[in-house]
Amino acid sequence: MSRYAHIIGWGHAVPDQVLTNDDLAQRVDTSDEWIRTRTGIRERRIAAPGEYTSTLATRAATEALRMAGVHPREVDLIVVATNTPDYIFPATAALVQDALGAGRAGAFDLQAACTGFVYALTIAADMIKAGGIDTALVIGAETLSRIVDWEDRNTCVLFGDAAGAFVLQAADEPGGVLTSVLHADGSGAELLMLPTCGTRNPVSHKALDQRMQYMKMNGREVFRFATRVMNSATREVVEKAGLTLDDIAWIAPHQANRRIIEAAAKALKRPMDDFLLNLDRYGNTSTASIPLAIYEAAQAGRIQPGQYGVLVAFGAGLIWGATLVQWTGPRPVAKPPRVRWHRRLAQVGSWLRRARRHLEGRLVRGG
Ligand code: UT7
């Protein structure tokens, strides 16, 4: 019997602080008019001190698990797609695993730039379908405000902070994450990158003086690439699923620029109403943009069980891809009271493990 990977819960997290286009015009040479007409963005959210990619991811995951009625200890795998991990290592997914008290879960980060959520969803769903795991948390989370150059008007107006999460679970009935297409062309690596903080250009005074710790982008070239692949990847995944574009009820595009989405709509001969959009309020939140757009649409009743939808993304790498889903809707919440108790216990277990590691460390150091 075939196994399917259903999306049974979804959650989100956005920081409270809103940064408007007018706020930005006080910092760099730009205007609300330029940003709105060239990108469609009106405002974005900015993480507060003490708010990190892992904390946004944990909040989104907690909401998704609650909606799914899944206890953290039932989760087999946590994948965090991000470009802005808390650290190069350990994985942000491990920090989320600990914060959730998901004691049985394996955890890893996935780096496929803004296409990360599509890649992560594909991998987790395929592991469920293969029978290796039953339940997965797939999260896209970013604090891009920490890596944009607030003196560079070409980039700082575009990005924002957010997280979105899906709970995937195995089921026998057809539906859920059906199929994907994944692509890459590393010859375009220099079009969008963070030059330092990795091992090729380690952090140094010289690198910092050249502001290499901030994102660099050739906007025009990325724009050209994006308009091409949004169309081709959507068509390819629909064909791979054995469907036609007429079967697709909605498209959740990576939210980078409204003009890119308008070009895709034109090429696909679909009205803009078919696209789930929220970049006017959040800007480009990279891996979080697709789950956040789907979260809002699902909460508003805009997407319905049984409908086919396409998630399509592009970004640095260059990497792009698309996933076709048949929307499921949340399962009934099974056991809320037990969940609370188990969660508390899991948290106590996590504190005890941390205290033990701390004491062992002191003994080893002779402290
Ligand atoms: O997740 C993927 C990440 N990246 C993307 O998806 C980015 C894709 N690219 C884009 O969205 C667009 O290329 C941008 C929004 C980045 C730029 O829009 P554009 O229409 O391609 O503008 P441009 O780069 O051709 O620049 C036109 C002018 C330039 O001035 P000059 O040289 O014509 O005098 C820029 O310096 O606009 C200027 N400009 C700005 N002016 C006011 C660039 N940024 C700004 C700004 N405010 N923020």
Q: Could you tell me if 18 and 43 are in contact, meaning their C-beta atoms sit under 8 angstroms apart? A: yes
Of 114, 183, 197, 257, the active-site residue reads: 114
The conformation of residue 306, written as its DSSP 8-state character, comes to T
State yes or no: is 284 an active-site residue: yes
State yes or no: is 197 an active-site residue: no
**Residue 335, pLDDT above cutoff 80:** no
The confidence score (pLDDT) of residue 4 equals 96
The confidence score (pLDDT) of residue 338 equals 45
The confidence score (pLDDT) of residue 190 equals 96
Which residues approach ligand 1 with their CB closer than 6 A? Answer: 30, 34-35, 38-39, 114, 153-154, 157, 192, 217, 219-220, 222-223, 226, 256-257, 284, 286, 315
The confidence score (pLDDT) of residue 347 equals 64
The confidence score (pLDDT) of residue 353 equals 72
CA of 260 to the centre of ligand 1 (A): 13
Q: Could you tell me if 286 and 142 are in contact, meaning their C-beta atoms sit under 8 angstroms apart? A: yes
- The helix (H) or strand (E) run that includes residue 24 is helix 21-25
Cα 4 from Cα 193, distance rounded (Å): 36
Which pair of tokens denotes residue 189? 């690596």
Query: Which atom of ligand 1 has the smallest separation from the CA of 114?
Result: 1
**Residue 346, pLDDT above cutoff 70:** no
Report the mean per-residue pLDDT for the chain. Answer: 93
CA of 128 to the centre of ligand 1 (A): 41
Q: Which residues contact 284 (CB under 8 A, 6 or more apart)?
A: 41, 114, 144, 158, 159, 160, 254, 255, 256, 257
The confidence score (pLDDT) of residue 362 equals 63
The conformation of residue 246, written as its DSSP 8-state character, comes to G
Which pair of tokens denotes residue 110? 């996935």
Substitution site in 82, 154, 158, 224 for ligand 1 pocket (most atoms within 8 Å of beta carbon): 154
Cα 83 from Cα 338, distance rounded (Å): 35
Q: What is the mean pLDDT of residues 281-300?
A: 98
Q: Could you tell me if 192 and 125 are in contact, meaning their C-beta atoms sit under 8 angstroms apart? A: no
